[in-house]
Chain A
Amino acid sequence: MSEVYVIGAGMIPFGRYPDQTPAQLGAQALLLALDDCGLAVPDVEAIYCGSTFNAASMIAQQVLKQIGQTGIQCINVSNACASGATAFREAYVAARSGLYDVVVAMGAEKNPKGMLQGVGASDGPNPESLFGSVSLPALFAEAGMEHAAKYGTSIEQFARVAVKNHHHSTMNPKAMYRRETPLDEVLASEMIAYPLTKLMCSANVDGAAACVLVSERKARELGLDRAVRVAGSALMSDPFQPRNPMLIDGNSVTRLAAAKAYEMAGIGPKDLDVVELHDCFATAEVLHYENLGLCGDGEGGAMIDSGETALGGAIPVNVSGGLLSKGHPIGATGVANIVEIIEHLRGEAGARQVDRARIGLAHVLGFGVGIGAACGVHILEKA
């Protein structure tokens, strides 16, 4: 089996694009990724495109209508917030299999406006407030309160995740917010579901990102100067847990995927230099420090307090600004997180560059409320 390298990466600035279709956004990201490695549309042999809300309308084919209908294999993927990571995983498998030399993994999304509602219908009265809440902030608040009850994690600790990630995004020209939010401002912003205030919830934006993956043979032919090797790849679904799905469980599926990816890469969390993880809500980031093994169980609150996960710390997390501040275009997020890691490994991340980054991890978690979860973990290494 072939090693797989990413040689091209691109993303458009995250924000609102009222006059463009998701496919037009995706096409721009794909061209950025191709320009990044000097390839052209006819070089691409297959496209895997993640789009939670547009996979069913053949978004990859629509992308090719924008830039060149070469007749190649198009796979459209919807896997909740893990759609982009799923597309990357499948593109990786395709390149590794030896069937293809040049494949594209991409994600493109225009999010619905307003608070995103989880899946789940009822022919009776609206269940919201009659049977608790199924809003995503409430679900991740409940997961945070489980951690608070077990380990004494405070609202200030969760809020510091937002302070950090909003700070990071001031250094990312493609991020949505790009504005400092001190702790008192995060705590004073509108309470959504305790302990989550508005500034502790991810930014609802449109966006697109793309990566060009190649076989080892093709990578050597084109030169490995800026190539990044996919050292570990895992995509898992939620294993049985007694409280799942009443209590949202991103913990067991993340641990499953992380263990597989670390094993495949032959490394452990201590070997990582930079991490992008799924901070859809500030509570989630603290949980994932532990789920990814960046610290021990119960140490997540202390870890955010220590500053270790800020730029300049021992293991910078979400230097892009994360979903909280860079933004979370659902189906594009999984690819965008990988693009961010690649920029650091290449030393091309500008003001937010993580010093001497050699190995990075990208984590994405998708949920269908009351239905299931998908988690993608990818470990990338400078070639």
Chain B
Amino acid sequence: MTARAAHKSIRVGDDGEAWIEAYRCDACGAVVGEPTLACRNCAIRAAPSAFRVAERGMLYSWTVVSRSYPGVVVPFVSAIVDLDDGPTMKGTLRDVDPDTLASGMPVAVRFDDAGGAVDKEGAAFVGFHFVPAGETL
């Protein structure tokens, strides 16, 4: 059974490999996270083209969530990350001391099992989170 994407931007190949997909306007270069009929930015009547997103980027903004909806385990870092080739993604930033967070900090995408969730048929899910990437490539 192929694992299912737990996030609308995740794609899973037949071999089980996961990646993040985004869409770029061929006319103006604007990047969006979901398919659209025309470009959100320049309104040109051509659908932005899908591309596989880089799995590295920089932390742009964040918060440490200390209270959430009932049943959600806190605290966690909600992070907004500018990925290297255009798209901005929101995700949970793990393995980090919240006191060391700073805008511009390099981070990497890590695919995961979405907390071990399975659907009604027993298929696993694929999720992602961010981790600090250090200063080197």
Contacts and interface: CB of A to CB of B under 8 A. Distances in A.
A126 interface: yes
A130 B72 CA distance: 10
Interface string B101-136: 011000000000011010100000101110000000
Interface string A211-222: 000000000000
Contacts of A128: 68-69, 72
B52 interface: no
A95 B131 CA distance: 56
Contacts of A135: 65, 68-69
A125 B6 contact: yes
A137 B91 CA distance: 16
B42 to A, nearest CB: 9
Interface stretch (A34-42, A187-195, A257-265, A328-336): A187-195
A127 interface: yes
A193 B103 contact: no
Interface extent on B, as a size class?
A: 35 or more
Contact of A125 (B63, B74, B114): B114
B18 interface: no
A158 to B, nearest CB: 12
Nearest to B98: A194
Given A138-B63, A142-B63, A193-B65, 16 more contacts: A122-B6, A124-B119, A125-B6, A125-B115, A131-B7, A131-B127, A132-B76, A132-B80, A132-B91, A138-B68, A149-B103, A191-B66, A193-B78, A243-B82, A246-B33, A247-B80
Contacts of B73: 129
Contacts of B86: 242
Contacts of B90: 131-132, 246-247
Interface of A: 115, 117, 122, 124-133, 135, 137-138, 141-143, 145-146, 149, 190-196, 240, 242-243, 246-247
B64 interface: yes
Which of A133, A135, A149 is the most central at the interface, judged by chain B CB atoms within 10 Å of its CB?
A: A133
Contacts of B60: 146, 243, 247
A242 B114 contact: no
Nearest to A146: B61
A133 B61 contact: no
B4 interface: yes
A130 B6 contact: yes
Contacts of B77: 132
A124 B63 CA distance: 24
B92 A124 contact: no
A147 to B, nearest CB: 9
Nearest to B64: A194
B61 A143 contact: yes
A62 B86 CA distance: 49
Interface string B65-99: 11111011110111110100010111110000010
A113 B5 CA distance: 32
A200 B17 CA distance: 43
Contacts of A117: 69
Nearest to A145: B61
B129 to A, nearest CB: 8
Nearest to B6: A124
B48 to A, nearest CB: 12
A19 B79 CA distance: 41
Contact of B125 (A124, A129, A196): A124
17 contacts: A115-B68, A124-B4, A128-B69, A129-B72, A129-B73, A130-B129, A131-B6, A133-B78, A137-B67, A142-B61, A146-B60, A149-B61, A191-B66, A194-B66, A194-B98, A240-B30, A242-B30
B78 to A, nearest CB: 4
B40 A240 contact: yes
A131 B114 CA distance: 9
A81 to B, nearest CB: 19
B68 A129 contact: yes
A142 B114 CA distance: 23
Contact of A193 (B5, B63, B91, B127): B63
B63 A145 contact: yes
B113 to A, nearest CB: 10
B41 interface: yes
A135 B63 CA distance: 11
A200 to B, nearest CB: 12
Contact of B41 (A133, A146, A195, A240): A240
Contacts of B82: 243
Interface string B39-67: 01100000000000000000011111111
